[in-house]
């Protein structure tokens, strides 16, 4: 069996036209989705990037792995939980990744025979990801394999190539908001975002212009994914490969406090794309059931007939196979949500409500409990916690019960991060210089190095 995981970093579900998006046409992803199991209500359990990917590859919440934050120096993932790439490696599959996460945390290298770090800046364009992936696919097309491809295009800095840039910015480049500089400086995260986003742009005439660059990046990403799907078809792999496409988290534009970032447990951050393609294994169709990214790992294991895996006991994920096969139309009554990088918050999402409890607001002002009716207020603009105290009490009890049941006496990793200092807030205070770029091309044969390598943030 051949398996490809595709991470669409920083891509909210509503950016895809197959999931109702209207700002960006995504024809290549839409075509794949039409032959896939498409989950319209999928949510990231832990944000942002590091905790989210850790949850995907372990099938466990961050509260149980200890990985609840991004760039938290003391964080380390235990060897005990099953790690999906290692599972495939243990089955004799050739395993490869085109990814940067190993340069952030060492556990992301686990289970790979070949770990290919793209050239250039830490978030290389999709064409660079493909340039490494295509030769690997050519070489291993006759093998059973597991390949992880990590595409960062929707993440800051938004620097799309032509013609995508001009197509989406168009006249916006000539419409100048005289107060744009004051608006950007008004955000508490401005010093860090000046360095990581604004200084990379050729001009900043308005907020709409920056947002249009984000959409242009998504259109470019879809184009490059079309090239990937075409290459798989040319190699005869498309009909014999399971492809899992997911977003690790989304991105706020200006609808909430954290402009052009992914802080906050709002749907624009935690509602993500999820589709599974697998001819002969996966029945195409769409489901609106509530699902979590922790459900991906047990689903893949079941679909591929991998019954027993050391370290998989106690996974938080619940297999989606019954949904995929049409034997059920419900999956979860609630999905649990967590963040601990810019601010420390946990939340619970139902089909009707979103409730958010704050442990530490970080640099943002919202420390009070938040409650949104996501049916009548899908953009979560009206906090109605004061109007529905019984709903707040019920959902707050669900969160506390989940915490207590998960920890069973262990220290809450969120409290450990808070004590150490929220990582993004600490970085903002220091306004650290840009990280050194990796070599132009680095391919790691993991069979030849010490698996205990440690990389510092």
pTM to 2 decimals? 0.93
Q: Does 364 map to a domain?
A: yes
**Residue 147 above 50 pLDDT?**
yes
Same domain, 313 and 344: no
Same domain, 315 and 355: no
Q: How far is CA 71 from the centre of its chain?
A: 15
Task: Write the DSSP string, 346-407.
Answer: EEEE-SSEEEEEEEE-TTSS--S-EEEETTT-TT-----TTT-HHHHHHHHHHHHHHHHHHH
**Residue 115 above 80 pLDDT?**
yes
Residue 119: its pLDDT value, please?
Answer: 80
Residue 73: its pLDDT value, please?
Answer: 87
Residue 121: its pLDDT value, please?
Answer: 60
- Please write the tens of the pLDDT for every residue from 225-273: 999 999 999 999 999 999 999 999 999 999 998 999 999 999 999 999 9
Handedness of CA 247, 252, 255, 258 (dihedral sign): positive
Same domain, 291 and 415: no
Same domain, 65 and 179: yes
Mean pLDDT, rounded, for 129-140: 98
Mean pLDDT of the chain: 92
At which of 312, 333, 354 does a domain end? 333
Question: Regarding predicted confidence, which is higher, 444 or 128?
Answer: 128
Least reliable range by pLDDT among 13-27, 75-89, 252-266, 303-317: 303-317
At which of 301, 333, 365 does a domain end? 333
Residue 447: its pLDDT value, please?
Answer: 40
Q: Does 444 map to a domain?
A: no
- Please write the tens of the pLDDT for every residue from 414-453: 999 999 999 999 999 887 444 434 444 444 444 443 333 3
Task: Write the DSSP string, 30-79.
Answer: HHHHHTSEEEEEEE-SEESHHHHHHHHHHT--HHHHS--SSS-TT----S
Question: Which of the four pLDDT bands, split at 50, 70 and 90, describes residue 312?
Answer: confident
Question: Regarding predicted confidence, which is higher, 124 or 271?
Answer: 271
Same domain, 299 and 353: no
Q: Does 267 map to a domain?
A: yes
Question: Regarding predicted confidence, which is higher, 434 or 309?
Answer: 309
Residue 309: its pLDDT value, please?
Answer: 85
Residue 69: its pLDDT value, please?
Answer: 96
Residue 455: its pLDDT value, please?
Answer: 32
Residue 456: its pLDDT value, please?
Answer: 32
Q: Does 442 map to a domain?
A: no
Mean pLDDT, rounded, for 26-35: 97
Q: The domain spanning residue 406 has which CATH number?
A: 3.30.1120.10
Q: Which residue, among 150, 37, 2, 146, has the nearest Cα to 84 in the 3D structure?
A: 146
Same domain, 311 and 339: no
Same domain, 179 and 314: yes
Residue 273: its pLDDT value, please?
Answer: 98
Q: The domain spanning residue 84 has which CATH number?
A: 3.40.720.10
Question: Regarding predicted confidence, which is higher, 308 or 118?
Answer: 118
Task: Write the DSSP string, 296-322.
Answer: HHHHHHHHTT----TT-TT-S----HH
- State which residues form the domain around 180: 2-333
Same domain, 426 and 318: no
Same domain, 324 and 401: no
Q: Rounded to whole angstroms, how far apart are CA atoms 87 and 8?
A: 22
Q: What percent of the chain has pLDDT over 70?
A: 94
How many separate helices (H) and strands (E) can be counted in the chain?
15, 15
Q: Does 245 map to a domain?
A: yes
Q: Does 451 map to a domain?
A: no
Q: Does 21 map to a domain?
A: yes
Mean pLDDT, rounded, for 367-378: 97
Same domain, 135 and 259: yes
Mean pLDDT, rounded, for 63-76: 93
Q: What 3-state DSSP class applies to 128?
A: helix
Residue 193: its pLDDT value, please?
Answer: 95
Task: Report the number of distinct structural domains present in the chain.
Answer: 2
Q: What 3-state DSSP class applies to 426?
A: helix
Q: Which residue, among 217, 219, 112, 97, has the nearest Cα to 150 in the 3D structure?
A: 97
Residue 122: its pLDDT value, please?
Answer: 61
Same domain, 169 and 153: yes
Q: Does 274 map to a domain?
A: yes
Same domain, 314 and 344: no
């Amino acid at each position: 069996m051949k398996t490809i995981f595709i991470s669409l970093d920083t891509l909210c579900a509503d950016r895809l036209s197959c999931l109702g998006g209207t700002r960006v046409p995504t024809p290549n992803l839409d075509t794949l989705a039409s032959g896939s199991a498409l989950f319209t209500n999928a949510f990231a359990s832990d944000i942002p990037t590091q905790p989210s990917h850790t949850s995907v590859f372990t099938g466990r919440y961050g509260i149980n792995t200890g990985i609840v934050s991004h760039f938290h120096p003391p964080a380390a993932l235990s060897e005990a939980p099953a790690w999906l790439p290692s599972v495939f490696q243990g089955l004799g599959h050739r395993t490869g990744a085109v990814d940067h996460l190993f340069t952030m945390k060492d556990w992301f290298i686990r289970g790979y025979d070949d770990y290919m770090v793209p050239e250039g800046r830490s978030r290389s364009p999709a064409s660079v990801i493909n340039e490494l992936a295509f030769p690997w696919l050519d070489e291993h097309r006759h093998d059973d394999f597991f390949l992880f491809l990590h595409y960062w295009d929707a993440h800051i800095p938004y620097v799309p190539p032509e013609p995508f840039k001009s197509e989406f910015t168009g006249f916006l480049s000539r419409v100048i908001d005289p107060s744009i500089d004051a608006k950007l400086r008004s955000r508490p995260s401005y010093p860090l975002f000046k360095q990581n986003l604004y200084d990379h742009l050729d001009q900043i005439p308005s907020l709409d212009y920056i947002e249009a660059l984000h959409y242009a990046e998504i259109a470019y990403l879809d184009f490059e994914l079309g090239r990937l799907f075409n290459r798989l078809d040319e190699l005869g792999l498309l009909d014999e490969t399971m492809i899992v496409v997911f977003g690790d988290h989304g991105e706020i534009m200006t609808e909430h406090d954290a402009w052009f970032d992914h802080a906050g447990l709002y749907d624009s951050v935690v509602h993500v794309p999820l589709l599974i393609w697998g001819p002969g294994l996966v029945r195409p169709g769409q489901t609106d059931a509530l699902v979590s990214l922790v459900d991906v790992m047990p689903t893949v294991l079941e679909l591929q007939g991998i019954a027993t895996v050391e370290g998989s006991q106690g996974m938080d994920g619940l297999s989606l196979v019954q949904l995929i096969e049409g034997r059920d139309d419900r999956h979860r009554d609630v999905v649990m949500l967590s963040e601990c990088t810019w601010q420390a918050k946990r939340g619970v999402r139902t089909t009707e409500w979103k409730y958010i409890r704050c442990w530490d607001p970080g640099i943002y002002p919202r420390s009070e409990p938040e409650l949104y009716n996501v049916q009548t207020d899908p953009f979560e603009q009206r906090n109605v916690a004061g109007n529905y105290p019984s709903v707040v009490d019920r959902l707050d009890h669900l969160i506390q019960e989940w915490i207590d049941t998960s920890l069973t006496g262990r220290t809450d990793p969120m409290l450990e991060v808070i004590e150490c200092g929220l990582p993004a807030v600490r970085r903002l205070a220091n306004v650290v210089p840009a990280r050194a770029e990796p070599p132009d091309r680095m391919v790691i044969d993991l069979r030849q190095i010490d698996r205990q390598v440690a990389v510092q943030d």
